Chain A
Amino acid sequence: MSEEDPKASGAGAYWKENIRLLVTLMAIWFLVSFGAGILFRDFLDQFSIGGFPLGFWFAQQGSIYVFIVLIFYYAWKMRKIERHYDLDD
């Protein structure tokens, strides 16, 4: 993380860091749902966890669990970033 220049902190740097985090998390969001659940489903279906073909599992179970983790991770990480820039509410 960009700890290098706390002096230049403030709204601008905070926003940049937020955008970087957003892009990463939205990429994961896209990969688990549209990626694993739809586009690469046929490929993933040759593997299985328990009785689930893997692509099918992502489409009907796994993507939803990842969504939850993504939101709570974002909420936690943003709290940290906001405290760092002294912008928390």
Chain B
Amino acid sequence: MKNQNETNSFRGWYTGEHDLILSNLSTQKVTEDHVKPEPSDKDIFDESEKALRGVYDTTSNRRLKSYNLLYQISAVLFCIGLAFALVYTVSYLPSVGDKDTPANSSVVSERYIEKGLEETGATNIVSGMILTYRAFDTFGETNVLFISTICVMILLMLDERILHSRSGKEEEYESKMEFINDPILQTVAKVLCPIIFLFGIYVVLNGQLSPGGGFSGGAILGAGMILYVNAFGIKKTQRFFNESIYKVAKITALTLYGIIGSYFYIMGANGLNNHIPLGTPGSILSGGIILPIDIAVGIEVACTMYAFYALFKRGGL
């Protein structure tokens, strides 16, 4: 008897008639007669307005009035206190270019400056530092970029069916909303896009010689791609950058960085001979692992920038 009851309740739960926890109360399906007519937006708005007016009746409710005053005064006091604390902390910072600051007098920075060129082969000390001595930190930063795009994809990416069903109307929609055939924008983009792409590639490849590197160059490349999409539309961009290329590029870049970085660490930590040549400082093929890592980071950042824009704009790449 009991057993039968249990199976019944399970079946009932499965079909939606019973609730396992509230098994005595059978949840019947709502028939259409019981459905109330949905209140219109205006009714809801009026009701909430009325309720708000009742709660925040600042004219006659004295307690609320005094609370509001107290709230504002304490907010101002808190802001002033916070500003004072921050400014007071700034007074403890060493002045710019001071000889005795920890940044100038510690052993680590001395080593970076004196042996940096010899050990990393990079004439740009900053690149040499962040991509060899601190390559592990930079790997973490690159992973942050990777994970953040995945989060944005989870939140904003539309189903492919929705994208395809909209694609017929898309051109019409785009030409209405986005000025897709704007001659001024297109002419400017025709001139500017190649220059921006070239400059971005130059900054990425020249990371070990001049200011820049993967992060800045990748940001420039991404900005150039955003300009291209805005001027010429998504269809022309998809000829050279679509979702499958995006996935391949992004994962390859991160894996490449991981492999090179771990190789460098295992060899360095065990005092083994490093097989990546440092090259002559000053030439383009120098700096050992800096150049390939710069390229990987550049691809990663450019993909991230473009993907953020595309996902925000239309919910797909």
A, B in one complex: no
List residues of chain A with CB under 8 Å of any chain B CB.
none
